[in-house]
Structure 1
Amino acid sequence: MPARALLPVILILPLFALANTPVRVTEAVAGRITEQVPVTGTVTSARSAMLSVSVGGLVESVALDAGARVEAGDVVLRLDAELQQARYDSSRAAVQEAEARLADARRRQAEASTLRGAIPASEIRSLEAEVEMAAAAAARLDAEARQQRALLRRHAVQAPFAGVISEKLVEVGEWVAPGDAVLALVDTDALRIDFPVPQEYAGRLDDQVNVLLGAGDGVRAEVIASVPVNDPTARTFLMRTAVPQELALLPGMSVRARLRLPAAQEQVLVPRDALVRYPDGRVSVWLVVAEEGDTVARERFVRTGATRDSQAVVLEGLAAGQQVVVRGNEALRDGMILTVQGE
């Protein structure tokens, strides 16, 4: 194409730049935005235990299977107690024998006391010592009998609290040693939800935080604990909430929630429509400024923060009170003259 053919195009372009471009504008304001943080937690029980045996033995019976509900004090497993019962019976017989010896010794001592003066003093002291030894022997054997009785009671495993058997670990006929786990028990009445929360939000959790469980409007849950010790590998800390009564949850279930965190201080807010996003990740707004009697568009690159509904936080690059374009900013170029149609 000849060079002179390009001249009309070159002359026309400035005319478009000078033409007034209709836009709508609004003012950046200072305010607080509530940030929503999605988190996923797990339903846990306030009490759970691996029930263990304190004595060794052969499993004679397992009263319940996984899923069964028990009350505090219910016997859930028994060990074969035949030999231990025999040891206990033998210890009780020994106690009865010792008590009889003690009673006989006390009788003879009492008779000797009535004959004091006719019986040598050494014989009386011997009878008194015999009573003391018989009493000591009876006490020792009684202690041994109580020990055998305690061991006999330990052949029956009782539920320490009400709950549900979540796992059965042994069967009838198996041999178990002291300390072996036999059943897993979970309290399903005292539930809570544990959420790992990113550590950057640790300082913002207080009584003003709303925790909404589920989608939509959600169900509000009360924060009952915030554990400040974070996980050094995941960079999270633990937030614990109560389980709302209207939700039927079980231990182990996964729960999605949203934390609604109010901003710690006022920030610059603009409508989301004011932001122009570039493919490389940059974000800008178009300022409305007065220059030499004209209203002109000037692009300003900004750093943004959280968004909520139609509002966005501008962390850097913009001040409250500045005018920004919210409609008509798609095709603006720096220096364009604007016609403001309304706010």
Structure 2
Amino acid sequence: MFIRACLLLIAPFLLFSVISSLFGQNENQVPESLVVVSKITAGMLTPKTEFVGTVNYPYISDVAAEVNGKADLVNLEEGLKVKKGELLVKANSDLLKKEMKAKEALRDQVLSDIELALLNKKRIEKLHNEEVVSRQMYDEIMFKLINLEKKSASIKAELEALSIELQKKSIRSPFNGIILKKYIDVGEWLSPGTVIATIAQTDVVEVVLNVPEGICMLTKQGMDTVIRINGKKYPGKVFAVIPHGDIATRTFPVRIRIAGNETLMSGMEAIVSLPSSEDINSLMVERDAIINFFGNTVIFKVNNSVASMVPVRVLGYSETKAGIEGAGLTEGTEVVIKGNERLRDGQKINAMKEGT
């Protein structure tokens, strides 16, 4: 009984001793951490700030009829993509075609009359030269020929007008786009000006954002930008900086065009990087080298396979790079860009070069 009591008293102390020993070994023998490193470079940095904008369609057209007619064919569905010149609506043209046939028959008759008048002209000229017929008869034949030629020209112009009207019976898409709104169905009457659909051009989309006046002064027309939409990056170009600001917010609209992308939709959120100051000469690191450590912005520099934590001040960002300044940092210093989130100051590392 006494021995058992002694064992119960000693057991907790033995367990505590074993646990302390194990933790002591872990603290003194921290394994090397596998990380990826790259070198600090020096160069000109264009500090940039991100702004949130909205994707818009710059060209939206209310496509309308130009002539009267009943809609016989309607190839319209909201959300349907259409190509430039694609048939959207076809109006009935039966009466117009009948009128064109009548005009063509009248034209043929007039052309026959002109041929006969030309023959009569040759005969009358010969007789007139021989003084067999009077001058009055000669003039009547000549004026009849002139009138027939004018009538022929008039009928030709009427046929051309009817042909244009026939073409306008078929309403086609003015550009590559997408149908946003449909307004008519088969059997409805069309008059000149009747809107059949609202179509947005999709060859070019536009991002509109409002920026402070300081950013506005640095943003130039034609400037290349990078736009992030739904996690993907798109190249853009500043189309216009509108010199008319909002008095309440002191911001100015900037329009940026993205060409050749039909997957983007109006209303999507877009994040745009624009210059926030003039170019500066700076030490440059990969963005991934910078982490937040208990509220401090730091990087881990590498020296003799040991990672040392260095507080830094970020001067600005430019694409995947960041401009920094910090004590003991120079061009060529190796810094950790992957695996730095699990490092401690003074920890040994097993470094791999970037890209290996």
Q: Normalising TM by the smaller chain, what interval?
A: 0.5 to 0.7
Secondary structure of the structure 1 residue equivalent to 2:206: strand
Equivalent residues of 2:47, 2:279 under 8 A apart: no
Tell me how far 1:178 sits from its aligned partner.
Answer: 0.5
- 1:172 paired with 2:219, answer no
3-state SS of paired residue (2:208): strand
Give yes or no for the alignment of 1:194 onto 2:208. yes
Judged with a 3 Å threshold, the aligned counterparts in structure 2 of structure 1 residues 229 and 164 are, in CA distance, closer, same or farther, namely same
Is 1:76 aligned to residue 88 of structure 2? yes
- Give, in whole Å, the separation in 2 of the partners of 1:75 and 1:183: 12
Kept in 1: contact 2:237–2:257 (CA 8 A): yes
- 1:38 maps to 51
Match of 1:86 in 2: 98
CA contact (8 A) 2:178 2:200 kept: yes
- Residue 264 of structure 1 deviates from its aligned partner by 4.3
Alpha carbons 1:78, 1:157 under 8 Å: kept: yes
Aligned counterparts of 2:114 and 2:259: Cα–Cα separation in 1: 65
Check conservation: 1:65, 1:168, Cα contact below 8 A: yes
Q: How does 1:54-133 map to 2 (within 5 A)?
A: 54-116=66-128, 117-133=131-147
- Taking structure 1 as reference, are residues 129 and 260 closer, same or farther at Cα in structure 2, changes over 3 Å only? closer
Aligned with residue 143 of structure 1, among 157, 164, 177: 157
Deviation at 1:165, TM superposition (A): 2.6
Alignment CA distance shift 1:89-1:215 (3 Å) = closer
Work out the CA distance in 2 between the residues paired with 1:82 and 1:255: 50
* Distance verdict in 2 for CA 1:108–1:253, change over 3 Å: same
Deviation at 1:312, TM superposition (A): 8.7
1:153 aligns with 2:167: yes
Structure 1 equivalent of residue 177 of structure 2: 163
8 A contact 1:43–1:249 mirrored in 2: no
Change (3 A) 1:236 1:211: farther
Which ranges in structure 1 are unaligned for 5 or more consecutive residues? 1-31, 267-308, 314-343
Partner of residue 49, structure 1: 61
| Matches of 2:230 and 2:100, distance apart in 1 | 62
How many positions carry a matched residue from both structures?
Answer: 239
1:257 matches 2:259: no
Aligned ranges for residues 270-309 of structure 1 at < 5 Å? none
1:182 counterpart (196, 202, 211): 196
CA distance in structure 1 between the aligned counterparts of 2:169 and 2:184, rounded to whole angstroms = 15
Distance 1:104 1:68 in 2: 57
**Is the contact between residue 110 and residue 152 of structure 2 (CA under 8 Å) also seen in structure 1?**
yes
Instruction: Provide the rounded CA distance (Å) in 1 between the counterparts of 2:160 and 2:194.
Output: 24
Cα separation, 2, equivalents of 1:244 and 1:81:
39
SS of aligned partner of 2:187: coil
1:105, 1:178 → 2: CA distance?
42
CA contact (8 A) 1:39 1:256 kept: yes
Offset, 1:249? 3.6
* Separation in structure 1 between the aligned mates of residue 275 and residue 115 of structure 2, nearest angstrom: 79
Q: Tell me what 1:241 maps to.
A: 256
The aligned residue for residue 286 of structure 1 is none
Pick closer, same or farther for the CA change 1:141–1:208 going to 2, 3 Å: closer
Instruction: Measure, in 2, the Cα distance between the counterparts of 1:215 and 1:188.
Output: 18
Compute the displacement of 1:238 (Å).
3.0
The 1:236–1:104 alpha-carbon spacing in structure 2 relative to 1, beyond 3 Å, is farther
For normalisation by structure 2, the TM-score amounts to: 0.57
User: Do 1:199 and 1:230's aligned partners in 2 also have CA atoms closer than 8 Å?
Assistant: no
Q: Name the CA distance, whole Å, in 2 between partners of 1:151 and 1:263.
A: 58
Write the distance in 2 (CA, Å) between the matches of 1:177 and 1:169: 13
Task: For residues 219-265 of structure 1, give each alpha carbon's deviation from its aligned partner in whole angstroms, at most 9, with x where no partner exists.
Answer: 364333223332556754332334388x8742313223143434249
Provide the TM-score with structure 1 as the length reference. 0.59
Corresponding letter in the other structure for 1:189: D
| Alignment CA distance shift 1:103-1:196 (3 Å) | farther
Alignment partner of 2:242: what SS?
A: strand
Change in CA separation of 1:50 and 1:257 when aligned onto 2, cut-off 3 Å = same
State percent identity of aligned pairs: 16
Show CA shifts across 1:25-44 (max 9, x none): xxxxxxx9936243222242
Q: Which amino acid aligns with 2:112?
A: A
Mapped contact 2:224–2:236 kept (Cα < 8 A):
no
Instruction: Give, in whole Å, the separation in 1 of the partners of 2:177 and 2:230.
Output: 30
Does residue 1:213 correspond to 2:223, yes or no? no
